[in-house]
Structure 1
């Protein structure tokens, strides 16, 4: 028994073709939207590529760009088919292409759903990328005289100011690295010598942070040096002075920014997928309703359209049998191909 069998008069077929033509062109605009979202996300990721550990995060924008291009191509082509279906002479040239085209549409819909799912699931990968990337970038903060790294100080400072964050996981991350360049240290000073000798790596570590960690909402001038030393400042307790420095780490801030963006894009792509599925179903109904016209010379007669010619169970069983047959034929072909080669190898070895 056919799945979702519907009777169509000529008037219904014309309305279906016209509705699908409109839906396909709306899908073209949806494809442009998906392409634009992917391009925007790629630009946003490129802006902060210095604080990311690898390029895997670009998988999502690249996928969105590809899906947008394919959506425009597929739906533009389908719109042309729906327009020509109103003219039997023009539609005749599309008939041989419809079945393979519908199979491609089905695969395309699976890909769109997969991309929408990836938008929701990339948070974990993005978090590890940001954590390692920020950790490495902070180590280069002091290298203002090193070619290729001289921009890192400005990048980190602008990042902390824009996202109101400090360090990787928090402001204490700056205590573990030397973020002040040796160029600005007085090595004749006893304090500098003592700090450098106080750790195995010979680094100048201080309980201080860059100026970009300061919160402008603080009612007192920002305390960025000797942050944990309460006695060094009047009426100060670093554990209660929440407005002095940004408490949130930049990893959390960037993760929230990008994950919320990807979640919104995933929701849009999911809506596009639902729309594409309805277009594919409508195109299949149009295809079968036009093919099942009893008398092609009388286009006004009624016909039937369906999604699947048999039930879903029978269709899956038939597809599985065909797949097994293809695998078996490939296996037999490999045996026939490898057999003579193995025989020749043995003969040559003798």
Structure 2
């Protein structure tokens, strides 16, 4: 029994073809939107790629870019095909092409859905990449004279200023790394030497943060050193300490930034997928309805269209049988008739021998 069976008149088939022609052209625009969204997401990710451990997350924008380009090409061709299918005689030119076109559209539509789901499932991977990348960037913050790392200080400072954040998970993360280069330390000072010797790794650790952690909402000049010593600064307890430094960690700030972008993109892509699914369904109805018209031989007659000619179970079983039979076609080594002469050949050999003996 056919799934989604609908009967179309000649006028309805022509109207369906015209509507699908218009929808395919709209799909070209949605393909350009997919391409633009993927390009925008790629630029946003690469903007802060220095504080990410790996760039495997780029497969999401790459997926959207490729899918958008495919949408433009497939739907551009689909508009021409659907317009010609309104005429029975023009349909014959596209009859062999229409089924591969439907299959390509189905896979393309599946890719659109996959792209939408990726935007919602990449959060955990992005969070781990930011956590490890920021930890590495903070560790090399002081290496301003080291090739390949000299840009990290500028990147981290810009990140903390733009997103109003401090550290990886908070400002106390700076207490665990040496963020001041040794070239700016007074090695003749006993306090500096003692602090270096007191650390197992020989690092100069302090309860201070870079200037980029300072909050612009602070009512007093920023306090960025001796943060654990409340008696080191006059009237420090009476001031709201939360206004002195940015309290949010940069990992969470970046994660919220990218999550908001991906959720918006994911919703847009999901709407595009629903639209493409509508176009695919219409093209499938048009294809089956026109093929049935050809079988009937009367261009003006009514014809049935469907999504699947048989039920889902029957379609899956028939496809499985086809695949199984294709596999059996190559299993010729166990054929017992191989290298065994047929009866016709056996009869032919003695007859030739008789003819030769008579001629001699």
TM-score, normalising length: structure 1: 0.91
User: Which residue of structure 1 lines up, in the alignment, with residue 12 of structure 2?
Assistant: 12
Structure 1 unaligned runs (5+)? 337-350
Change (3 A) 1:334 1:239: farther
Q: How far, CA to CA, are the matches of 1:238 and 1:35 in structure 2?
A: 54
Q: Does 1:167 align with 2:158?
A: no
Contact 1:175/1:209 (8 A) holds in 2: yes
User: Which residue of structure 2 lines up, in the alignment, with residue 288 of structure 1?
Assistant: 288
Contact 1:117/1:266 (8 A) holds in 2: yes
Q: How far, CA to CA, are the matches of 1:63 and 1:237 in structure 2?
A: 52
Note the C-alpha offset of 1:321.
2.4
Note the C-alpha offset of 1:237.
3.5
User: Which residue of structure 2 lines up, in the alignment, with residue 189 of structure 1?
Assistant: 189
**1:5-44 mapped onto 2 (5 Å cutoff):** 5-44=5-44
User: Which residue of structure 2 lines up, in the alignment, with residue 200 of structure 1?
Assistant: 200
Secondary structure (helix, strand or coil) at the match of 1:236 reads coil
Change (3 A) 1:106 1:247: same
Secondary structure (helix, strand or coil) at the match of 1:94 reads helix
User: Which residue of structure 2 lines up, in the alignment, with residue 218 of structure 1?
Assistant: 218
Change (3 A) 1:328 1:117: farther
Change (3 A) 1:35 1:220: same
**1:1-350 mapped onto 2 (5 Å cutoff):** 1-237=1-237, 241-293=241-293, 298-329=298-329, 332=331
Change (3 A) 1:123 1:156: same
Change (3 A) 1:335 1:112: farther
Contact 2:91/2:290 (8 A) holds in 1: no
Contact 1:175/1:207 (8 A) holds in 2: yes
Contact 2:165/2:249 (8 A) holds in 1: yes
Note the C-alpha offset of 1:100.
1.9
Secondary structure (helix, strand or coil) at the match of 2:178 reads coil
Larger radius of gyration: 2
| CA-based RMSD | 2.0
TM-score, normalising length: structure 2: 0.88
Change (3 A) 1:272 1:327: farther
Q: How far, CA to CA, are the matches of 2:245 and 2:329 in structure 1?
A: 69
Structure 2 unaligned runs (5+)? 336-360
Structure 1 range deviating more: 64-73 or 96-105: 96-105
Note the C-alpha offset of 1:188.
0.5
